[in-house]
Structure 1
Amino acid sequence: MSRGQSPGPHSSKYHHPYFTPAEVEYLSVKQRGKLSAAQEERARQSACAFLEGMGARIGFPRRTIATAQNLYHRFHLFFPRKDFHYVDVSLASLYVSTKMHDTLKKPRELLAVSYAIRFPDLVAKSKHPGGEIDLDAMDPQVVERDRQRLLSVERLLLETICFNFTSRMPFPYVIKLGKAFKAGKKLTKLAWRLTIDCHRTLIPIQYPPHIVALAGLYVAALLSSFELPQPPEEPGLRSPQELAEILGQNGDWESKYQVQVDDLEGIAHTLIDLLVQGSQSQTQNTSPRTPSSPSPNPSPRTPHPSTESQSPSDPFDADKLIRLKIVMRQTEHPPRVRQPLGTADPSALYSGDDVGLLGRNEGTVRFLFGPPGVMGHEIQ
């Protein structure tokens, strides 16, 4: 989003690829309104699950789904939740993401799939063998109204990202870093699944993708070693315990990969909280109204039905995850203070004046692809 100048006939808005935890907390509270933090989290998970369901039905690649989830999170840093239904914002986010990753679908196509997910009774009446909804059989005014609403939110989304269509994903880094740290195939696969779940949180809009990927490896190593017997050594590979010890302490790897151990610990706590939430959930279904993931690919939060029942020895058991968090708190490093990008006064982001200009046709607005001061005095 932008860090704007004073409002007026002419203004500039700067895209900020990442936000500090303090910025995220401030803006989240501001847009949450009267909702509690728990209600906000439920709304966030409903939207993420809905996007997972859309992606699974259409067959979108993971990058399209993950980017849509990121766009949804970013949108609600600047627009109140009470003013928008999560389905409208989710559909607009997915539409923009399909453009960014060249997996384009028309708004009507997205609406048809969304109706099939949201209204199972319409699917039961559909004569289509694939269970799709025939939009021609629906009230054309309803469909057109929903389409216009999608396009309206899309415009706000585009201004929110300052028309910057750059999107870097952490998934390729998981493979590269797994090889660099000599992680086994099973551990790297778990890290990949954890990185997928990271996009259900605000982590990817706070940290660059290589840090998110390395945190996925760190959490995977913790989950694969905490209160578990050590597996037989594999020649040339590090054990999960060894990898967890390396990434849990300061070392040369921090400067080599431009990351700090307290970053990994902060991400780990957020991700483990998400796993606890999923473990404590009593229902595992594909409804977009629950935090469960309908993706055919299992994740640590939403395993296949055959593995849903968790035993005390299961690494994703809620009690065990809580014990892991307690142990981590005892040895964690103090978090450093992260400064906002650029040299502008951080309070400029919070004035609310430039946010109020979004979506309006008043004056001339320049949308710039980077924050001021990052690349010299001017944006290059």
Structure 2
Amino acid sequence: MVEPVIGIPVSTVKLHKPYFTPQQVQDLCEKTRGKLSISQEEKVRQHACTFIEAVGAKIGFPRKTIATAQSLYHRFHLFFPRKDFSSHDVCLAALYVSTKMHDTLKKPKDILTASYAVRFPEKALKSKTLVREVDVDPQALESDRQRLLAIERLILETICFNFTSKMPFPFVIKLGRYFNVSKLLTKFAWRLAVDAYRTHVPLMYPPHTVALGCLYLAALLMSFEQPPPPMSQTFQQEAMTPLQLISLLTRGGEWEDQFNIDADHLEQIAHEVIDLFAQIAQNPASGAPSASTSPSTPSSPPRHLPHASQSHSQHQHAIYHPTTSLPFKSDQLMRLKIAMRDREAERPPRPPLKTLRPGYPMTGLAPNPYHSQNLGYGQGNEHSGEGPSGDPALNEGLGRNEGTVRFLFGAD
């Protein structure tokens, strides 16, 4: 009988938890940031999100595929240091995993070819092919493909091979109808939900909470230091105004128990997205968010286009730099954050949420099975995957071939 090697676990159990607490996200980022400062890390993250956006738009992926890829990128670097991996390789691997999660499959070669045209636009313009593909050495292409597949395995381990993914975009529409807000506000909230995937918000809150947080932020941005729009031109008759929605969501109420959402979480989501806008307003080169652009979903361009039309399409899809500037100034965003902090300080303490109701027949929203105060967030190991304070351990057993690892997800 062969004795097991001392010090190497025979088997390890990894239990997938879909969400992290804000403190856990902060702690994990500090461990994987390396020598980068917080501002430098934010710039790298925004450039990566812009790159994913550009490649996804060039191929014609739907919004759900692009957004999930950005979320996978954020999750990957909570466990793996940035200095150990190329940002482009991680972005493309995340995009490849996202195509499997949403059944928008593309071969790694197709994703890599599209990425070359985004990374090297001057070479793409010199290409003589209709699709403006960059001529790449087959050996270099195979080397990039192998790296993509190696990182794909690590990304799958960070999600415990759980291919379930729910997006906030349908909830934005449903909640907008439930609260009877205008189509203009709902459309703006949809854009903000797109921008939320440039932050860690989708890793900390379930999609219906993100959706309502974006509706709340849209109401704030449309009313703070803004003249009231003409009712006849902007809002439908009898629709809830932004100020009315802010008042309702700020003070809480029955909607918290009905949707299992804490009003304080809406404030936190709003602060995260406002911080993103402030950072981009100060450094426009990092890539403008979708709040300043059309909320349309990228679509696949026709296969056969004249050279002039194809060149114009490539200019729009290959480089994700909207022609319109961000409509919010950094000083205005800071004043909004100060006003929000003052309102939070004046708010009296509220009782905790009541027991979750069995369903939401009015909006079709499903109950949130992960809402629990004593739930271990993130990816943890029931034996050795969590730190002494209950926080998930960094890179515990991920990417290793030692022993047997069982990945579990679903109800405990």
After TM superposition, give the deviation of residue 221 of structure 1 in Å: 0.3
Letter in 1 for 2:331: D
Structure 2 equivalent of residue 76 of structure 1 = 77
After TM superposition, give the deviation of residue 195 of structure 1 in Å: 0.3
1:291 aligns with 2:331: no
After TM superposition, give the deviation of residue 55 of structure 1 in Å: 1.2
Structure 1 equivalent of residue 252 of structure 2 = 250
Which consecutive unaligned segments of at least 5 residues does structure 2 have? 1-6, 296-319, 353-371
How far apart in 2 are the matches of 1:193 and 1:294? 6
How far apart in 2 are the matches of 1:203 and 1:280? 21
> Which of 212, 216, 219 is the matching residue for 1:218?
216
How far apart in 1 are the matches of 2:290 and 2:22? 29
Moved more, 173-182 or 30-39: 30-39
Instruction: Note the alpha carbon deviations across 1:234-262, whole angstroms, 9 max, x for none.
Output: 42201111111111222111111111111
Cα distance change of structure 1 residues 340 and 22 upon mapping to structure 2, 3 Å threshold: farther
Instruction: Note the alpha carbon deviations across 1:43-98, whole angstroms, 9 max, x for none.
Output: 11011000100111011000000000010000001000100111000000000000
Cα distance change of structure 1 residues 7 and 217 upon mapping to structure 2, 3 Å threshold: farther
How far apart in 2 are the matches of 1:296 and 1:282? 12
Equivalent residues of 2:217, 2:270 under 8 A apart = yes
> Which of 358, 365, 369 is the matching residue for 2:398?
358
Percent sequence identity is: 53
Structure 1 equivalent of residue 367 of structure 2 = none
How far apart in 2 are the matches of 1:27 and 1:256? 33
Q: Map of 1:228-377 to 2, 5 A cutoff?
A: 228-233=226-231, 234-283=236-285, 290-292=286-288, 297-298=293-294, 304-305=322-323, 307-308=324-325, 316-332=328-344, 339-341=374-376, 347=388, 349-352=391-394, 355-370=395-410, 375=411
Moved more, 239-248 or 100-109: 239-248
Paired residue secondary structure (2:162): coil
Instruction: Note the alpha carbon deviations across 1:277-308, whole angstroms, 9 max, x for none.
Output: 2222344xxxxxx3335999537xx9952x42
How far apart in 2 are the matches of 1:116 and 1:176? 38
Cα distance change of structure 1 residues 129 and 296 upon mapping to structure 2, 3 Å threshold: farther
Structure 2 equivalent of residue 3 of structure 1 = none
> Which of 144, 147, 162 is the matching residue for 1:146?
144
How far apart in 2 are the matches of 1:35 and 1:338? 33
Paired residue secondary structure (1:359): coil
How far apart in 1 are the matches of 2:131 and 2:376? 48
1:55 aligns with 2:52: no
Equivalent residues of 1:20, 1:338 under 8 A apart = no
How far apart in 2 are the matches of 1:278 and 1:338? 34
Structure 2 equivalent of residue 190 of structure 1 = 188
| Corresponding residue pairs, total | 348
Instruction: Note the alpha carbon deviations across 1:169-209, whole angstroms, 9 max, x for none.
Output: 00000000000011100000000000000000000010000
How far apart in 1 are the matches of 2:218 and 2:30? 31
How far apart in 2 are the matches of 1:72 and 1:139? 27
How far apart in 2 are the matches of 1:197 and 1:296? 10
Equivalent residues of 1:65, 1:97 under 8 A apart = yes
How far apart in 2 are the matches of 1:148 and 1:325? 45
Paired residue secondary structure (1:76): helix
Letter in 2 for 1:190: F
Paired residue secondary structure (2:275): helix
Equivalent residues of 1:53, 1:117 under 8 A apart = yes
Paired residue secondary structure (2:407): strand
How far apart in 2 are the matches of 1:238 and 1:144? 56
Cα distance change of structure 1 residues 293 and 107 upon mapping to structure 2, 3 Å threshold: farther
Cα distance change of structure 1 residues 79 and 303 upon mapping to structure 2, 3 Å threshold: closer
Letter in 1 for 2:248: I
Letter in 1 for 2:287: P
